[in-house]
Chains A and B, each alone.
Chain A
Amino acid sequence: MHVATHPVGDTQGKANPQALRDPVWVRWGLTGIAILFIVLFLCVPLGLVLFQALVKGWQAYFNALVQPDAVAALKLTLLVAVVTVPLNTVFGVAAAWAITRFEFRGKSLLTTLIDLPFSVSPVISGLIFVLMFGAQGWFGSWLSANNIKIIFAAPGIILATLFITFPFVARELIPLMQEMGCEEEEAALSLGASGWETFFKITLPNIKWALLYGVLLCNARAMGEFGAVSVVSGHIRGLTNTLPLHVEVSYNDYDAVGAFASASILAGLAVVTLVLKSLLEWKQSRERLAY
């Protein structure tokens, strides 16, 4: 289930000499189709989020953003990201270290299992935690006897998000660290550096852009996840609604400005993610050329 999310940046912008042999009408026609498609399917939706959010003016927009339910949703979304992103980052680095620096049996199986959450529908990702911790679930009666809430509360939302964003950091680091090899690290170690020193002074500077890239994608998904979170949240206003769920609830209540005001925050997050992503890709390709 691997998608190459890095477009190879170096050759872009240069014309392919062979391509220029294509008849002019073919070139213009195909370019036109591509641009029209991107504008209709991608630009229009992005622009419309902002338009709908501001359709009743700035005042209504700000009022929608500062209403208690929206603020609570934003806080919960930030909490979820603050817990899940560091955990999955530490996991990603540890997994990449074990997988790329050592040989052991079952390595390719392990790599496949790490990618597993990508091939599971978000709804099923929520369902499995309901089956574990819900009222009829494995630990349901024990949890209710001890008065602990996981499903329809923040812990369930955090668990489902951990599952959904599980592979993001690991899958950025594994191919890079594989490609890098470990000669530099071995040299440092043989000169007497400790394991941690080697990691912080040799490995980390080499993987920093890919690591940041993984963290960025992980964060975007953690803040934006809808399906899995929707299953475990219970949609309790002001308590268990994240920002994407607040968008849904407001939209279903015909509160278009409320829905699109919150949606504009999430769309802003997506745009920032895309800009940083392009920047990181540019940095990465420049450093690879410098090797």
Chain B
Amino acid sequence: MTQSNIMPGFRPTLAFTLFYLGLIVLIPLSTLVFKSLQLGWSDYVAIITHERVVSAFRVSFVTSLIASAVAGLFGFIIAWVMVRYPFVGKRFLDALIDLPFALPTAVAGVVLATIYQPTGILGKWLIDNFGVKVAYTPLGIVVALIFIGIPFVVRTIEPVLQEFDSTMEEAASSLGASRWQVFTKIIFPNIFPALLTGVSLAFARGVGEYGSVIFIAGNLPYVSEIIPLLIVVKLEQYQYSGATAIALTMLVVSFLLLLAINLLQLWVRKRSGQI
């Protein structure tokens, strides 16, 4: 099936790739399916509809949704400023945006918990001035997920903004459009698909996030317990089937949500005439 070219090494590299992929990724992942199949349908439904599981799903998806929306707003502003406005120290701040990618999640977790706990520097200020408690509430989960999500949004929008053809802007302004009209009618519709991609990446990452969340969340069942933590709790109680059923459901639901977002994106692009 190779091309009629003279490049060597097709068989060994492809064989190694497939062997290693199977060994490290596919066979281990298939355990999820096989383990779930051992479970009867009624057992599966009983596990998934348990009140504690349902509320963990609600906590995980609602906090990720809010956090990715906030990350979308601020990520858009940051990308906009980084690409369009000159200011001192820009290179340094731009490099810093990748910090959540590079910082181990456990470190992010303990440091965010320390900052936002009631005696922490920002936690104390927020309680004293606004009476808002962040750490050990669902709000803490949102804060951790904003931290994790921000680079996804910025790094998805930046290249699109950079390549944006400013002659369209010039044309619109010379025809008498105001800056605000240029932004809402020309720039934003062109950036919107990228924004949607960034937000959905942040959302997908947020649903599965564990390390940065568990320290700040308080992990109260029914209130601030996230799905990944519930999987760990089940495992610690040696309830392998329960953990697997929850894990598989989480994978499927995330996959369906991403599919829906991709379809939405396709629709947006079609409407704005990009394809």
Contact = CB atoms under 8 A, between A and B. Distances in A.
B7 A185 contact: yes
B83 interface: yes
B166 A18 contact: yes
A57 B179 CA distance: 54
A227 to B, nearest CB: 4
Contacts of A217: 101
A251 B106 CA distance: 10
A206 interface: no
Nearest to B238: A136
A58 interface: no
Contacts of B14: 98, 102, 104
B272 interface: no
A103 B2 contact: yes
B86 interface: yes
Nearest to B18: A110
Given A18-B170, A277-B98, A117 B25 contact: yes
Contacts of A269: 102, 104
A40 B126 CA distance: 13
Given A127-B244, A227-B105, A110 B111 contact: no
Contacts of A138: 31
A43 interface: yes
B201 interface: yes
Contact of A274 (B8, B35, B96, B255): B96
A42 B96 contact: yes
Contact of B31 (A7, A26, A113, A132): A132
B66 to A, nearest CB: 15
B24 interface: yes
Contacts of A43: 96
Interface residues of A, number: 111
Contact of A48 (B121, B155, B215): B121
A270 B268 CA distance: 37
A182 B6 CA distance: 11
Nearest to B27: A132
Interface in A84-107: 91, 94-95, 97-99, 101-105
B1 interface: yes
Contacts of A248: 106, 109-110, 215
A273 B102 contact: yes
Interface string B227-254: 0110110010010100110010011001
Interface of A: 1, 3-5, 7-8, 11-19, 21-23, 26-27, 30-31, 33-35, 37-38, 40-46, 48-49, 52, 91, 94-95, 97-99, 101-105, 110, 113-114, 116-117, 119-124, 127-132, 134-138, 159, 162-163, 166, 182, 185-186, 189-190, 195, 198-199, 217, 220, 223-227, 230-231, 243-245, 247-248, 251, 256, 259-260, 263, 266-267, 269-271, 273-275, 277-278
